[in-house]
Amino acid sequence: MSEPIVSARDVTKLFGSKTALDGVSADVFPGDIIGVLGKNGAGKTTLLETLLGFSPPNRGSVAVFGEDALAMSAQTKARIGFLPQLDELFGMLNGKQHLAIVSAFHADWDRALVERLIAEWSVPLKQRIDSLSVGERQKLAVLSALGHRPDLLVLDEPVASLDPIARRQFLRQLFAIAENEDRAVLFSSHIVSDLERAANKVWIVKDGRLHWQGYLDTLKESVVRLHIRARSVLPRDLAVPNALATRVDGNTAIATVAQWQPSEADALAKRFDGSLDVESLGLEDIFLELHR
């Protein structure tokens, strides 16, 4: 397996008495498109910014391209593209001036790519940034993060203010980046359908912990909803292994379970003396079940 681009070990971050991150360990490998999912205040932004060295952890360490995230070299920083949750554009400049400043920091700024995206996304370059709509500002911010074709792209809520067309175009761009298997993308979003479409891995952040991390397909296979139909009335406490939630109604029951193994199906059906249907869940349902 190749070396991880980002490697976090036991990262804990406190804000006063509040624990924002609690012993997070995770890796980002080349080729990963990782969607970070979590409720508001779960710690997604803190996690992304701590991984990039913006915020020093109280415990643990982060390495980016093998270097300490708190002391990255210029070469390493040049390989990162970052889009913060709140854009940090110069309000008094126009888009063209803003891109001129950002591009000055990158020797390998891909002018052709940026110009193509400007045309595709209809970014108004001559207007002052102050007077742009939130979505237009976001497009400009995304361009600033993508223009140097970074090897690691970290995006905090990149599509929150984009219209559906721009969102599709943006996701297409993410796929294009991921085609190059040396690169990785880490992005948070509340739009689960986008995340499901773009990501190959998922991190679910809950109360400052990485509640689940791994391949999206594995997650989908792992968390399922069981529909149980027994011959007799079922007990209130079903005691299904790894159950996230159960609802019993007479001789039928619905249970959502994690770490599901298909081989367990026959044993369970036998135990309840009935039949068992396994329903696959979408990411949104899984997220809701994990947060019950």
Partner 1 sequence: MNAVLRVWWTFFTALPLQRWLGGTGAALCTLLAAGGFVSGTYELWIFGLLVLFILAVFPTLFASPAVFRALSAPRASQLLPRFRARMLGAVALLVATLLAIFVLFFVTSAAAANRALPLEPIGYAFAFATAMFLWMFVQFGDWRWVWLWLAAPAALGVLGLLAPESRALVAAVPAWAWPGAALLAWIGFAAWYVRARRIGPIRFNPQPRARAWASAELGGALPRDVALRMLVTARPPGREGWALALVGIVLGVNVAAMSVAAPFFSFTSSFWPFGTMLLLWGHATSIVHRSRLLWLRMPGPRDAVRREVERALLRNVRGAVLLIVAAAVIYASPLVGASPQQVLAGFLLSACAALFSTYLAFASIPGRALHLVGFGLMIALQFPLLAPPFTSPTNVTIVTVAELGGAIAFRMLALRRWRQIDWLRLRPLPQSNMFRGS
Interaction mask 95-114, partner 1, x per CB under 8 A = -xx--xxxxxx---------
CB of 93 to partner 1, least distance (A): 6
**Residue among 157 and 194 whose Cβ is closer to partner 1:** 157
Distances (CA, A) of 153 to 32, 91, 124, 187, 275: 11, 24, 24, 8, 47
Q: Counting contacts by CB under 8 A, is residue 93 touching partner 1?
A: yes
Query: Half-sphere exposure of 56 toward its Cβ, with a 13 Å CA cutoff?
Result: 5
Select from 91-99, 112-120, 235-243, 245-253 the region that touches partner 1 (CB under 8 A): 91-99
Q: Counting contacts by CB under 8 A, is residue 80 touching partner 1?
A: yes
**Residue among 49 and 285 whose Cβ is closer to partner 1:** 49
Retrieve residue 20's tokens: 């924002």
| φ/ψ of residue 181, rounded to 5 | -75, 0
Binding residues for partner 1, rule CB under 8 A, total: 35
Q: Counting contacts by CB under 8 A, is residue 160 touching partner 1?
A: no
Q: Tell me which residue of 205, 238, 244, 191 sits closest to 222, measured CA to CA.
A: 244
Q: Tell me which residue of 267, 274, 223, 222 sits closest to 248, measured CA to CA.
A: 274
Site for partner 1 in 232-291 (CB under 8 A): none
| Dihedral sign (CA 30, 36, 41, 42) | negative
Select from 69-77, 205-213, 222-230, 253-261 the region that touches partner 1 (CB under 8 A): 69-77
**Residue among 100 and 176 whose Cβ is closer to partner 1:** 100
Q: Tell me which residue of 107, 88, 108, 106 sits closest to 98, measured CA to CA.
A: 88
First to last CA, the chain: 36
Return d(Cα 70, Cα 123) in angstroms, integer. Answer: 34
**Residue among 20 and 257 whose Cβ is closer to partner 1:** 20
Strands 59-64 and 6-15 turn out to be antiparallel
Cα 25 to the chain's mean position, in Å? 15
Q: Counting contacts by CB under 8 A, is residue 72 touching partner 1?
A: yes
Q: Counting contacts by CB under 8 A, is residue 49 touching partner 1?
A: yes
CB of 71 to partner 1, least distance (A): 4
Q: Counting contacts by CB under 8 A, is residue 134 touching partner 1?
A: no
Select from 53-61, 159-167, 168-176, 201-209 the region that touches partner 1 (CB under 8 A): 53-61
* Interface residue list for partner 1 (CB under 8 A): 15, 45-46, 49-50, 52-56, 70-75, 77, 80, 82, 86, 88, 90-93, 96-97, 100-105, 128, 130
